[in-house]
Structure 1
Amino acid sequence: MVSVSSGRRAESGEALLRRMAARRRRDNVVVVVLAILAVFGGGHAIVDAFSQPPSGPSENSTVSLIGRSQLVESFAQEFIVRYLSAAAGQQDRILEFVGGAPQATLPTTGRQVVDPIVVYVSREAASGGVDVWSVTVSIRIVRKTSAIADDSRQCYQVAVAVIEGRLRALSLPAVVEPPSHGPDLALDYRATCAADTPLAQVAAGFLQALLTGTGDIARYTTPNSGIATLRPAPFTSVETTMVNADNSSCGASGSTARILVSVNPKLDGTGTPTLTYPLAMILAAGQWQVRSVDSVPALKLPLTAGSMQSPGGAAAPSTSATSKSPVSAAQVPQATQN
């Protein structure tokens, strides 16, 4: 009995020593890891290593942010229109918007400001119950000095603070450069289809039924497309002028296709501007059918931007910096999520 008891105590002591040695090894590993984090990332790295990743914005916070954005846009539009249309002695008209109103020099006669449009808004800072926004508003100023009306637009930028739901401009507006026009993105259509090709025939019949109400639209669409004739019909006739497709055979082969259709619609014999429709099509039971009217044309992937175009339609001339190594297209990087 004694020898058995002594053996058990010896075995328990050895197991305890092994556990203690293993714990020391784990502790040493933890110390080494913390030391590395401290050297390369500082204290924040140590805290981040043991903390949960921050949660994304909640639905309520997103809705609240959109609401404040709309509130700021409305305020900025009203302020800029009121300010630009004010005349000398009318500083009180803008005093409710900005504290610098008494120092503003106003023209003898107020200008007629019309058609305000918010073209850009961003939240620049936030702290506690205070948000600071930057808003750019595009407006038209009616000029009476010329017999020809000037319909050009100007952009004005103003900073707006939202303090616990109350709004105030931080300064008077400034004229800024309007948003610039960018290059064209490359579309993914490789063939131009003649009027007698399968894709062009189905597209012409589909758009005729969609836009004029003549013909059976179900003949041209898949059963589950959910596409219905527009009511009331916006046009009385439609002429298809061009069909571009990613299907190089224009429907003679293959089972799917994306096409871009250009049409010249008319209303009671009077022409209207050309329209284009991106369509997704599928071959079912030997018949091409429209599966959907897409919201954007088919884009070449990866997204590729072409050369800048001048207002006349020709490519803009190369600058001296680019003339040595001309670039016809530039890839647009993939979008990333913050």
Structure 2
Amino acid sequence: MKLNRTWTGRVSTTSSALRRYGTIALIVLAALSGVHTVWDFLFGEPTDVVTPARTVVNKSAVVSSFAEDYVTTWLTATAATAASLNQFVSVNPADLNLPTTPAVVLGSPSVVAVTYEGNAGKDAEAEVFSVVVGINERPYESASPTRYLYRVPVLWSRFGPRATGLPFQVSGPGPGANLGVAYPSTLASTDNAYQVVSGFITAYLTGTGDVARYVTTDSLLVGIGAPYLARKDDKGNPLPLVTSVTATGPVPAQPAEGQTVQVLAQVTALTSQYANVAMTYPLTLRGVGGHWSVAGIDRAPLLSSDDNITPVAPPSATPTN
């Protein structure tokens, strides 16, 4: 059946209207959706990132503690205590051929790294973690300790942590590299900045003198409770704790107000057991009233931007125990 010209025109007009109004409706709905998204972002409930973060931190803490206990028990297990491993892993103790006495003397273990390896099980209801535990071992009590690293695979489920196998020894992250510090200027012991640094370090570490005398009012620095003693020579004469001070550049005797400079102090302190302890203090000095004052203890020394990083040669291999 064919439509006459009148109905053909009506159908064409209706189709065009539907397309036009449909397009407008889609644009309006999209706009409303966008406005709703922006409104939620600005005025709605914020996305909860704290709870998942706390959950991950809590799991990592439990898994880490579990791995530390597991490695310690595993390294010191004997034929008589083999059953103690069952609290960590499902193995047959008879298959381990354990010694009759502990094989090593251990120091305190520490967690070197924890990594999440993914989900496991049906419907991904469990998680797999890999923990690296470092521990100092000695073949006997008076022997020098050697540090070893062990990786522990741990399955986390609603039932708690459980090892998926025995620990295995791994190499460390590498010996690292060296990069020079950026303190080319050496200060004389008679320089104002040197004397301020020396007085501050002495008061800060030994309690001899007032720390406030050497620091700026906004430094928030106070003494650390005098855990160190003043050094003395063979005749009982006092020795300075600061042995040298270097700076990032020339240090004027009388600084401008607010002028700053970074310095590096080499320190030798004396413990309550009369043992020397060498330390390095990176400090920032600021000019106040024509004199230098300590404005803060830097988090790390300033490193060179000109030198290349020099890899450290790995230590010679040490046979395992």
**1:269–1:96 distance in 2 versus 1, CA, 3 Å:** closer
Q: Offset of 1:233 from its aligned partner? A: 4.5
Contact 2:206–2:225 (CA under 8 A) maintained in structure 1: no
**Aligned 8 A contact 2:181 2:303 in 1:** yes
Contact 2:263/2:282 (8 A) holds in 1 = yes
Deviation (angstroms), 1:279: 0.9
CA distance in 2, matches of 1:100, 1:267: 48
Aligned to 1:188: 182
TM-score, normalised with respect to structure 1: 0.68
Runs of 4+ in 1 over 6 A off after TM superposition: none
Match of 1:240 in 2: 242
Q: TM-score, normalised by structure 2?
A: 0.71
Q: 2:311 aligns with which of 289, 308, 311?
A: 308
Secondary structure at 2:177 match in 1 = coil
Residue in 2 that maps onto 1:46: none
1: CA distance between counterparts of 2:119 and 2:229?
A: 50
Contact 1:191 1:250 in 2 (8 A): no
Q: Partners in 2 of 1:268 and 1:94 — Cα distance? A: 42
> Aligned-pair distance for 1:140?
3.1
* Number of the residue aligned with 1:142: 138
Indicate yes or no: 2:241 matched with 1:227.
Answer: no
Which of 74, 77, 90 is matched with 1:99 structurally?
Answer: 90
Query: What is the Cα deviation at residue 148 of structure 1?
Result: 6.0
- Residue type at the aligned position of 2:103: R
Q: Following the alignment from structure 1 to structure 2, what is the Cα–Cα distance between the partners of residues 282 and 68?
A: 45
CA distance in 1, matches of 2:116, 2:241: 47
Where 1:279 maps in the other structure, the secondary structure is strand
Q: Which amino acid aligns with 2:263?
A: I
Query: In the alignment, is the contact (CA less than 8 A) between 2:125 and 2:157 conserved in 1?
Result: yes
One of 55, 67, 77 as aligned partner of 1:64:
55
Task: Give the number of aligned pairs.
Answer: 265
Q: Contact between 2:205 and 2:226, CA under 8 Å: does it hold in 1?
A: no
Name the Cα RMSD after superposition. 3.4
Give, in whole Å, the separation in 1 of the partners of 2:250 and 2:159: 57
**Which residue, 264, 267, 275 being the options, matches 2:268?**
264
Cα shift readout 1:164-214 (whole Å, capped 9, x = no counterpart): 250110111111113322112443323222212232121011111111222
Query: What's the offset of the Cα at 1:57?
Result: 7.5
Q: In the alignment, residue 259 of structure 1 is paired with which amino acid? A: V
Counterparts of 1:106 and 1:266 in 2: how far apart (Å)?
49
Structure 2 counterpart of 1:239, one-letter code = L
* In structure 1, C-alpha distance between the alignment counterparts of 2:295 and 2:143, rounded to whole Å: 46
Matched, 1:295 2:286: no
Change (3 A) 1:224 1:150: closer
